[in-house]
Structure 1
Amino acid sequence: MNDKKPKIVFTTQLSEEKRGRLENGRFLIESEPFITIEYSMPALWRSQVPEKTDAWIFTSKKAVKAVSPLISDLGIPKHVFAVGSKTAEMLEELELNVSVPEEYNARALAEMIQELKLDRIVHFCGNLKAADLGKLLGKEVNLTSIEVYQTKLTRHKMNDLENFDGIVFMSPSAVDSFSKQNSVSKNMQVFCIGPTTKEAAEDAGMQNCIIPEYSTVDSLMESIHEFYF
């Protein structure tokens, strides 16, 4: 095995603490953000939340972070759904009972909701939604999408891209932002957090994209480790 540590670039912001934990002595990891997150002031969206709902949907940790200051004031419904274990954990820390589909994607979530025959549902989301839940749920469901944060694309040319062995995408929007001014060589391995991000990467011309068994950072790092070691 080559003693040289694989050098990986994440296309999202990583704190120094998180970067060090992910490196774990086996990798060299750098962060080159191609998106930034801006949270909406609660006063801008609070009035959009219906007084009575059957369920809430959270498809990202960012939505949970945006809504958490007002949780106790919003009238928690009987059902709260999350896509992804980390999103669910954040909601459980707020003492909410959370249901999670077996597969971490919008289609599996829609099927789960349809089985319960729920009607009035609120989806707390960002301005860039990976999937149209309204179409997946069908006309019989009254879905209200409330934008609580915005994803801004920070497009730029990455001049040292050839210095990396692998590149990691955590969202389709990061793929979109990166691809505007950059391209991946055949020698660079692409890792994606989940199937929707992989699809975006393939649409951008990237090949042999690897996704983890579960759409979590821990599972993703396991996949990266398995590839290189």
Structure 2
Amino acid sequence: MIIEIFFTKMLPGELLGSFSCELFSINMRDFIAIKYISLPKKPALNNVLIFTSRNAVKGFCQNFSAEILRGKKIFVVGDQTAFLLEKLGVKVTIQKDYARDFSLLNKDELPKGPYDWFCGTRSLDHIADSLKGCSLNRYEVYHTSLCPYALPGSYQAIIFFSPSAVISFFRKNSISQNTCYFAIGKTTSEALSSAGVYEVFSPEKPSAISLIQLIKKYFHATK
């Protein structure tokens, strides 16, 4: 029996190549759309910059030269965010899997602020909560639009990569008791739980590769 899987984000072929065509049928669609924002007034940047996603880095580069990042202290959330900055020749100072992890840093690990945080219009306040008491400037450099779509059929698994995609998905779809729900990390998993999903599977490490490995392991284990 073929296992039908639906990804709520378009993924490159190299990530999906490890799925056996004899065992899995893969469908994908973007449930959110990203549009980068041009800041009306370019601020003078402080010494510490925070990026909570790849899109935040791309949005920053729509407004500033990447050269400005060199010599700054750079805080990031996620492997892919760090990887993109490193491709630009920028050294990352502190990397965490989740924005809330910054609250675990000792005060002596945090350089003196103020901090400049680059994010999206739908970004959660976890950075602000983690750095409470610090001077923090928030700059929204990309806009996230919801792209709801009603699935035409049923799937054994539906995969999510962001809380915004969860919101978008359930605008036109309901929870199915015969479907397994997978999330890339804790924040997306919490969004699914808030939507009413009873059980959510997510990898220990929030990355697309870890998530795909978990999906394959789960279905091979349940065959």
Is 1:158 paired with 2:117?
A: no
User: Which has a greater percent of helix?
Assistant: 1
The match for 2:140 is: 147
Which of 147, 151, 160 aligns to 1:169? It is: 160
The match for 1:63 is: 56
Moved more, 109-118 or 208-217: 109-118
The 1:23–1:204 alpha-carbon spacing in structure 2 relative to 1, beyond 3 Å, is same
Is 1:105 paired with 2:98?
A: yes
CA–CA separation in structure 1 for the residues paired with 2:143 and 2:115: 21
> Structure 2 stretches of 5 or more lacking a match?
none
Post-superposition, which runs of at least 4 consecutive aligned residues in structure 1 deviate over 6 A? none
The 1:91–1:110 alpha-carbon spacing in structure 2 relative to 1, beyond 3 Å, is farther
The match for 2:113 is: 119
The residue identity in structure 1 corresponding to 2:138 is S
Q: Deviation per CA, 1:152-172, whole angstroms, max 9, x where unpaired?
A: 011232222x1x110001000
The match for 1:85 is: 79
Is 1:38 paired with 2:35?
A: yes
Which of 190, 204, 209 aligns to 2:200? It is: 209
The residue identity in structure 2 corresponding to 1:227 is Y
Deviation at 1:30, TM superposition (A): 0.9
The 1:121–1:223 alpha-carbon spacing in structure 2 relative to 1, beyond 3 Å, is same
The residue identity in structure 2 corresponding to 1:133 is I
**When the two structures are superposed, what TM-score results if normalisation uses the length of structure 2?**
0.87
CA–CA separation in structure 2 for the residues paired with 1:6 and 1:211: 19
The sequence identity of aligned pairs, in percent, is 31
CA–CA separation in structure 2 for the residues paired with 1:66 and 1:13: 20
CA–CA separation in structure 2 for the residues paired with 1:24 and 1:213: 24
- 1:23 alignment partner, SS class: coil
> Structure 1 stretches of 5 or more lacking a match?
none
Aligned residues: 217
**When the two structures are superposed, what TM-score results if normalisation uses the length of structure 1?**
0.85
The match for 2:182 is: 191
CA–CA separation in structure 2 for the residues paired with 1:112 and 1:94: 26
Deviation at 1:27, TM superposition (A): 2.6
The 1:181–1:50 alpha-carbon spacing in structure 2 relative to 1, beyond 3 Å, is same
The residue identity in structure 2 corresponding to 1:95 is G
CA–CA separation in structure 1 for the residues paired with 2:77 and 2:111: 19
Deviation at 1:93, TM superposition (A): 0.8
Q: Deviation per CA, 1:14-66, whole angstroms, max 9, x where unpaired?
A: 34x356435354532111222111112xxx31734324x12111111111222
Is 1:29 paired with 2:30?
A: no
The match for 1:94 is: 88
Is 1:130 paired with 2:124?
A: yes
Which of 6, 11, 14 aligns to 1:9? It is: 6
Deviation at 1:112, TM superposition (A): 3.1
The match for 1:228 is: 219
Tell me, yes or no, if the aligned pair for 1:123 and 1:143 is still in contact at 8 Å: yes
- 2:82 alignment partner, SS class: helix
Tell me, yes or no, if the aligned pair for 1:63 and 1:148 is still in contact at 8 Å: yes
